[in-house]
Amino acid sequence: MTAEIRPYDPETDADALYELKAAFERGLGESTGGEGKAAAYEEKLTDEYRERWLTWVERCVADDERCVTVAVDEGGERGGGDRDADDPDRDGDTDEPGLVGYGFVLPERLAMVWDAAVINELYVAPARRGTGVADDLLDAAVALAADQDLPLDRMVLDVDPENERAKAFYDRHGFERWGELVARPLDG
């Protein structure tokens, strides 16, 4: 069964979108960096973080509603459960329609961050992996990027080097290694 791909609606989708976001973050911590990373990602998922993130999402979709695109399964499967973080094809089943994935592309006004369109996040609930939902969300992201006025005609994202499934997905869609993201704590 194919999911409907449509722009995020803050009035009806906020709770379900954040459920998927939290699963994305938990999976990122659990599957790509050991206990320390898992704890750090879990600790940030506070009510304050939820409000800040949803407010930021609203600001982005105010620029272009397509910045956050959701996949809706009218057949009863939806987000939740175990995640493989930046693996775009990611469980949880209910009998109610619900969001099973989302794609988040930064708005054009932020293109100068990387001189390109930026996929901030692409996530699909595990029960819907391998069903084409991630492909459809990526197609929507590429369509939005094609409409943006970009310094470089490129779309970029970061993928954890330990996430083989995500790397294979993006390779299949023509993404190539283009530099390396490094990070350090601000308190050290």
Q: What are 81-132's pLDDT values in tens digits?
A: 333 444 454 334 444 569 999 999 999 999 898 899 999 999 999 999 899 9
What is d(CA 48, CA 54) in angstroms, rounded to the nearest whole number? 10
Q: Which amino acid is at 144?
A: L
Which carries the bigger pLDDT value, residue 27 or residue 170?
A: 170
Per-residue pLDDT at 142: 97
Q: Mean pLDDT lowest for which of 4-13, 117-126, 152-161?
A: 152-161
What is d(CA 64, CA 148) in angstroms, rounded to the nearest whole number? 10
Per-residue pLDDT at 110: 93
Taking the model in full, what pTM does it have?
0.85
Q: Which amino acid is at 150?
A: L
Cα–Cα–Cα angle for 13, 15, 21, rounded to 5 degrees: 95
What is the average pLDDT score of the chain? Answer: 86
Kindly tell me if the per-residue pLDDT of 18 is higher than 80.
yes
> In this structure, are residues 60 and 67 in contact, taking their beta carbons and an 8 Å threshold?
yes
Kindly tell me if the per-residue pLDDT of 183 is higher than 90.
no
What is d(CA 129, CA 108) in angstroms, rounded to the nearest whole number? 29
> In this structure, are residues 15 and 145 in contact, taking their beta carbons and an 8 Å threshold?
no
Q: Which two tokens stand for residue 70?
A: 């959701």
Per-residue pLDDT at 97: 63
Per-residue pLDDT at 156: 95
Per-residue pLDDT at 21: 96
Report the interhelical angle of 34-43 vs 10-31 (nearest 10°): 160
Report the interhelical angle of 10-31 vs 47-63 (nearest 10°): 120
Q: Which two tokens stand for residue 82?
A: 């175990």
Report percent pLDDT > 90 for the chain.
63
Kindly tell me if the per-residue pLDDT of 147 is higher than 70.
yes
For residues 154-178, average pLDDT: 91
Q: What are phi and psi of 51, to 5 degrees?
A: -65, -45
The domains located in the chain, with CATH, are: 4-172 (3.40.630.30)
> In this structure, are residues 101 and 90 in contact, taking their beta carbons and an 8 Å threshold?
yes
What is d(CA 71, CA 122) in angstroms, rounded to the nearest whole number? 11
Kindly tell me if the per-residue pLDDT of 170 is higher than 90.
yes
